């Protein structure tokens, strides 16, 4: 590392922060190539995995602020990747559903995100990548609110 004090460079918190900045840039650039944003991926992935949901549910599942969910869903509706309609079970709530176009976009974004992971973790062999992912998941789970 260039001219970084060793006491700083040896701290996992510093390393994670520096890597997060780099990872965010790679992800943003990758998604921009598909005309998409990170919030789009989160929402499409949640709809694909869990099925139709209210905007509030999407915000909780995807950890996106309510106003940002509305803006992202608006964009996805305009692109034809999701449908939004009144929830028949709850009149004041909208229900968001993944479209076939959204499934195709999610698959494109999956491929881009896989490539970003390969670029980000290029110096690590597959076993170390799995170990790193497992360890980061463990640390994150420890600090998540219950």
Name the residue ranges covered by the structural domains of the chain: 25-114
Confidence at residue 56, expressed as pLDDT on a 0 to 100 scale: 93
Would you place residue 101 in the very low, low, confident or very high pLDDT band (cuts 50, 70, 90)?
A: very high
On whether the CB atoms of residues 84 and 78 are closer than 8 A, the answer is: no
Would you place residue 87 in the very low, low, confident or very high pLDDT band (cuts 50, 70, 90)?
A: confident
pLDDT per residue as tens digits for the range 111-123: 999 999 999 999 9
Q: d(Cα 118, Cα 16) in Å, to the nearest integer?
A: 17
CB atoms closer than 10 angstroms to residue 135: 10
pLDDT per residue as tens digits for the range 34-84: 888 889 999 999 999 999 999 999 999 999 998 999 999 999 999 999 999
Phi, psi of 85, deg, nearest 5: -145, 160
Mean pLDDT for all residues in the chain: 93
Average pLDDT over residues 82-107: 92
On whether the CB atoms of residues 47 and 98 are closer than 8 A, the answer is: yes
On whether the CB atoms of residues 94 and 87 are closer than 8 A, the answer is: yes
64 Cα distance to chain centroid:
10
Confidence at residue 91, expressed as pLDDT on a 0 to 100 scale: 76
CB-count burial class (<10 Å; 0-12, 13-18, 19+) for 59: buried
Instruction: Kindly tell me if the per-residue pLDDT of 85 is higher than 90.
Output: yes
Helix residue ranges per DSSP H, the chain: 6-9, 12-33, 38-50, 55-62, 66-79, 100-120, 126-143
Q: d(Cα 91, Cα 130) in Å, to the nearest integer?
A: 45
Instruction: Kindly tell me if the per-residue pLDDT of 1 is higher than 70.
Output: no
Tell me the fold of 25-114. Answer: Arc Repressor Mutant, subunit A (1.10.10)
Q: d(Cα 40, Cα 98) in Å, to the nearest integer?
A: 11
Instruction: Kindly tell me if the per-residue pLDDT of 131 is higher than 80.
Output: yes
């Amino acid at each position: 590392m260039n001219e970084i004090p060793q006491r700083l460079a040896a701290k996992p918190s510093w390393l994670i922060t520096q890597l997060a900045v780099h990872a965010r840039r790679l992800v943003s650039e990758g998604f921009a190539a598909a005309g998409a944003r990170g919030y789009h991926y989160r929402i499409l992935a949640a709809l694909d995995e869990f099925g139709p949901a209210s905007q509030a549910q999407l915000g909780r599942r995807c950890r996106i602020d309510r106003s940002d969910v509305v803006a992202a869903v608006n964009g996805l509706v305009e692109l034809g990747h999701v449908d939004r309609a009144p929830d028949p079970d709850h009149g004041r709530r909208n229900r968001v559903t993944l479209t076939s176009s959204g499934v195709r976009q999610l698959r494109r974004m999956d491929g881009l995100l896989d490539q970003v992971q390969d670029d980000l973790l290029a110096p690590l062999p597959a076993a170390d990548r799995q170990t790193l992912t497992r360890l980061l998941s463990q640390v994150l789970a420890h600090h998540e609110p219950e």
